[in-house]
Structure 1
């Protein structure tokens, strides 16, 4: 769990087990950490360190491993990265929110590719926030497009859904996750609802 300047490890019954990090710009220091992903194979923890404009990676024992990215609009740079996810090959996908794109990296932080551009069209993104990967399909919540967009892990657009209509829909989708049966749950920050797909 991320907090304003730290990472919290909490038991299933809500007991605080460990607090990692503090406010700052150095190793194991954070400034509004948002997205967090744990590699089940290596135990490494990938944190989207939002206002430090980087991804910080911790070892299984929560010591510093490495970081990648800095503030900017070029490739390998971020403008407030918001979410992280790993595919079945261990590649790291980052929602580069204010650059309106998804960037793909190796586990060590080597740049691989990116996809997305600013706009409302199919395959375009407007303030992508959270990201989850299920069966090697990438699901991304978009703040300003008010929808979930789906891509392959190679960046090919598949579909989008959840857009507002007369029957309702997403307003400001943020967090999302899958259950063991394959249903997708999306938290909508603005409408105070959880949508199931």
Structure 2
């Protein structure tokens, strides 16, 4: 596609295949568990920006941005360990996002991608600052194509998504955007949150734009989408930073439910037990599980 001109968002049409909502989100009203008070202690969080669950262990991995590390909790929100080198090439400074792929953890940080193993041991550093292939300018969201392990990276200040192979070789670009913040993949689509509009662009896996969604359900518009998650039924869960809500939509972007949270939600995911895991900014309980 043409990467020289920014994408023009278009209203969504309800022509996607309808997928049955297998999780009754309407029953989720108040958190089951809360943890992670705002401090600098091991079990505390300061401006968490990403939350991911290891499907094998159920461990919850949280990018603790202002503490320059990743903190790991078990499924009961009990602190387990943290990692992030204090010096050298593996040093974290304001990490932004994280994805788990088999035996490795990939973290976006400044102008690089950091590669760790599941025990939190630093392996390698990918990329440098710039605008060419394998160069980044404040990358944010990161996702994995589980069918081939391709890596999708929101190269935010370069207004594009870079796609790398599983061995960190450049493959292609997806763009151009104005401020891509988050990317998620389903079986059928690649979803990219363009934060400056804001809107969510849907591409097929041939990287052809299908739709751009700028209205998230009639009468239920999202004000400030900070990030989003696609569940196994292709429902879309959006962290609405300005309204203190988690907004949930079906695959054709019809509103299902809104869940109030204590403060501005910055990231969310769904675990193997269909629990919504949310991290918030400036909250007494930064980690909330519904």
- Settle same-fold status: TM greater than 0.5: yes
Matches within 5 A, 1:45-60: 45-49=105-109, 51=110, 53-60=111-118
Displacement after TM superposition at 1:59 (Å) = 1.8
2:194 and 2:225 map into 1 onto residues whose CA distance is 7
Displacement after TM superposition at 1:9 (Å) = 0.9
2:215 and 2:85 map into 1 onto residues whose CA distance is 38
TM-score normalised by L of structure 1: 0.85
2:131 and 2:220 map into 1 onto residues whose CA distance is 35
Aligned to 2:201: 149
2:70 and 2:217 map into 1 onto residues whose CA distance is 37
Aligned to 1:44: 104
1:181 and 1:64 map into 2 onto residues whose CA distance is 34
Distance 1:153 1:63, change over 3 A: farther
Matched-pair contact (CA < 8 Å) for 1:36–1:48:
yes
Deviations 1:109-148 (A, max 9, x none): 111110212xxxxxxx221101111115211112101111
1:10 and 1:3 map into 2 onto residues whose CA distance is 12
Structure 2: gaps spanning 5 or more residues: 1-61, 250-290
Aligned length: 185
Matched-pair contact (CA < 8 Å) for 1:142–1:174:
no
Structural RMSD (CA): 2.0
Larger radius of gyration: 2
Matched-pair contact (CA < 8 Å) for 2:142–2:153:
yes
2:236 equivalent to 1:184: yes
Match of 2:126 among 68, 77, 90: 68
TM-score normalised by L of structure 2: 0.59
Matched-pair contact (CA < 8 Å) for 1:23–1:29:
yes
Structure 1: gaps spanning 5 or more residues: 118-124
Matches within 5 A, 1:16-165: 16-23=79-86, 26-39=88-101, 42-49=102-109, 51=110, 53-87=111-145, 88-117=147-176, 125-163=177-215
2:216 and 2:74 map into 1 onto residues whose CA distance is 36
Matched-pair contact (CA < 8 Å) for 1:142–1:173:
no
1:136 and 1:68 map into 2 onto residues whose CA distance is 28
Aligned to 2:9: none
2:12 equivalent to 1:12: no
Aligned to 2:225: 173
1:182 and 1:163 map into 2 onto residues whose CA distance is 17
